[in-house]
Amino acid sequence: METRAVVIEEYGHADQLKESQITLPELGEHQVLVKVKATSVNPIDWKLREGYLAQMMPWDFPITLGWDVAGEIVEVGSEVKDWHIGQEVFARPETTRFGTYADYTIVDDHLLAKKPDSISFEEAAAVPLAGLTAYQALFTHGKLKAGEKVLIHAGAGGVGIYAIQLAKNAGATVITTASKKNHELLKELGADQVIDYHTTDFSEVLEDIDLVFDTMGGDVQKDSFKVLNSDGRLISIVGAPDEELAKNVAVAESIWLQPDGKQLQEIADLMTEGKVKSIVGHTYPLTAEGVTEAHELSATHHAKGKIVLVNE
């Protein structure tokens, strides 16, 4: 089927984004077609647009970016059992060149989660990629347990906001870094201690940390090894840890998100219970102009919470 999409036809700056009509692949037997109500912006979107991931994802153009979706099922594949037309869902679909910056997108049925009635499509669209990244870093790889101390870098960012809430809900003591203007919000979300990175070097005031969730890389990652205990773990989503420093701790690894509908449903259930919420800091229309502005903001790394694209 044909759908309107915001695509790139070559790698480059945000001015490469344009609206176009594209033809989606045929719906597979275990797939659904979702009418997109909202999607969100993640750093992978503009990194891919700029060509940084071209070797990892050697796709043909045009490429539709975007790997978060909240919307309504409008068609189901022949073998789909648990989902039906009209259901409101959200997902982190597989990473293909047919992304979610479009009026319609295809999602494998095992990656779907039910959108909680209590939240908007915008709030739901903010969750999948960032929320699953936080979940997998903390629990799948970081093995975070109740009573442990976790340091989450950049707590006010898209991933950090979910990480704080998920860690607190799991019974951990949560420490995070953020600029002063975001301290109050992060404490409301469950942070026990917020360090202003403009005025304080976290590596001089912290010790005996069980898990560091590194969303920054570089010197922040290197300094994080100083605060870990000997059984400590460092999980990064931005770069491979230094091999020499990694010898001093139990675990140090860089991870790449795996889409997972069951884990997303766990987060959805926590949202229904009021234990996790989205912080949508900025919304833009799902148009070439709107996506361009959203990408430019995301690339500054100074967005508060998530940047969401709304399909009116």
Per-residue HEC secondary structure of the chain comes to: CEEEEEEECCCCCHHHCEEEEEECCCCCCCEEEEEEEEEEECHHHHHHHCCCCCCCCCCCCCEECCCCEEEEEEEECCCCCCCCCCCEEEECCCCCCECCCECEEEEEHHHEEECCCCCCHHHHHCCHHHHHHHHHHHHHHCCCCCCCEEEECCCCCHHHHHHHHHHHHCCCEEEEEECHHHHHHHHHCCCCEEEECCCCCHHHHCCCEEEEEECCCHHHHHHHHHHEEEEEEEEECCCCCCHHHHCCCCEEEECCCCCCHHHHHHHHHHHHCCCCCCCEEEEEECCHHHHHHHHHHHHHCCCCCEEEEECC
User: Which residues 6+ apart lie within 8 Å of 181 measured at CB?
Assistant: none
**Token representation of residue 12:** 């480059």
Is the confidence at residue 97, as pLDDT, over 90? yes
301 — pLDDT class (breaks 50, 70, 90): confident
Reported pTM: 0.97
Compute the average pLDDT of residues 245-268.
97
> Is residue 276 classed exposed, middle or buried when 0-12, 13-18 and 19+ CB atoms within 10 A define those classes?
buried
Q: Chain-wide mean pLDDT for the chain?
A: 97
CATH fold of the domain at 2-128+259-310: Quinone Oxidoreductase; Chain A, domain 1 (3.90.180)
> pLDDT, tens digit, for every residue of 113-153?
999 999 999 999 999 999 999 999 999 999 999 999 999 99
What size, in residues, is the chain? 312
CATH 3.90.180.10 residue ranges of the chain are 2-128+259-310
Domain 142-254: which CATH number of 3.40.50.150, 3.40.50.720, 3.30.479.10, 3.40.50.2300: 3.40.50.720
CATH 3.40.50.720 residue ranges of the chain are 142-254
Residue type, 273: E
> pLDDT, tens digit, for every residue of 161-219?
999 999 999 999 999 999 999 999 999 999 999 999 999 999 999 999 999 999 999 99
